Amino acid sequence: MRRGQAGFTLLELLVVVAILVIVAGGLIAAYDGLEKKSAQGVATFDIAALDSAVRTFRATNNGLYPDSFDSLLFTADGSATDATVLNLINGKLAGKIGGHTLTAEGVAALDDAGITTLRYVDGTAATPGYDNAALPAGTQVSIPNRVFDNPSRGHGASVPLTAGVVVAAVENILQADSTGATPADSSRLRDIAGLDETIGHVVIAVGVGNNSTLVHNVNGRTDLRGASLSQAPLYKNIEPNLYGRYIAVFHLASDADASGTIDAGEFLGTARFLGIIDTKGDWYEEEEAEFTGVKS
């Protein structure tokens, strides 16, 4: 009998390779989808957990909220009276942020809520902009999520809140956003937070970083107790060269007489915690809708 021919023909090999390529492509696509879905699920959990942690902290600390949040701002001279949006904030959120200069009433509202200091990036860090990766060598921040840390890392300063200090506002009457424009309609955050959309409000935004007293025993504050965290969580669904801490938002004032300005007496006696958003500006319901695929 004739000996059978060993091996595969070229056509057979090509068919096998084509099948492997198709299978590999499907697996890669499926993995990419799962990775994004996983990040959305984690974000949904983290937002809910942080919201609960802040409220529990207040309940167990005589009505005081955590202190020493990250300001999200850069100050060239360290005074924070000249503060601007940090170059490491995601552009989607940065476009909603403008500077709000605290008055004595605003300081009092924050102080009564237990918020007396914020962390700022000082003049030793990169100049304001958006794209950390595009900044010249030597001005980039190598670990964006530690940029508000103590000065021994070359960045970060703890600034006491006084009249004239600039804080980051995601909603403010006639505020200019980070591009210098004045938003015509910033009611999106009002709607989600349950604020009256027919009038203006002052709502400030701060990052929940490892310097916050919400994190366990930070800065030696053993007198504070309650919903302490071992580490401030990170939002995974964002570019790695950007700041990735979650954001807490607090209500400071409302334009009760609809005059178009915040007048004396229109600040709250105590700043009110509204909730947690991610570093793209999305709230719990938005992250949940992305995770579950159910959107109205």
Report pLDDT for 1: 47
CA gap 239, 129 in Å, rounded: 15
Report pLDDT for 8: 64
Q: What is the pLDDT of residues 140-181, one digit of tens each?
A: 566 788 888 766 656 778 899 999 999 999 877 767 666 667
Residues, the chain: 296
CB-CB contact of 214 with 178 (8 Å): no
Query: In Å, how far from its chain's centre is CA 119?
Result: 14
> Coil, helix or strand for 84?
strand
Report pLDDT for 189: 66
> Coil, helix or strand for 11?
helix
What is the β-pairing status of strands 98-101 and 166-171?
antiparallel
Could you tell me the pTM of the whole model?
0.81
Structure tokens at 71: 């300001």
| pLDDT tens, residue order, the chain (296 aa) | 455 556 667 666 777 777 777 677 666 655 555 556 666 677 888 888 899 899 988 988 889 999 999 999 988 878 899 888 888 888 888 888 888 999 999 999 999 999 999 999 886 544 444 355 555 555 556 678 888 876 665 677 889 999 999 999 987 776 766 666 776 555 566 666 778 877 888 899 999 998 888 887 666 666 777 666 778 888 887 777 788 999 999 999 988 888 888 888 999 999 999 999 888 887 766 666 665 665 55
CB-CB contact of 47 with 277 (8 Å): yes
CA gap 267, 256 in Å, rounded: 10
CB-CB contact of 209 with 143 (8 Å): no
Residue 104 CB coordination number (10 Å) = 12
**Could you tell me the residue ranges of all domains in the chain?**
11-290
Q: What is the pLDDT of residues 179-194, one digit of tens each?
A: 667 765 555 666 667 7
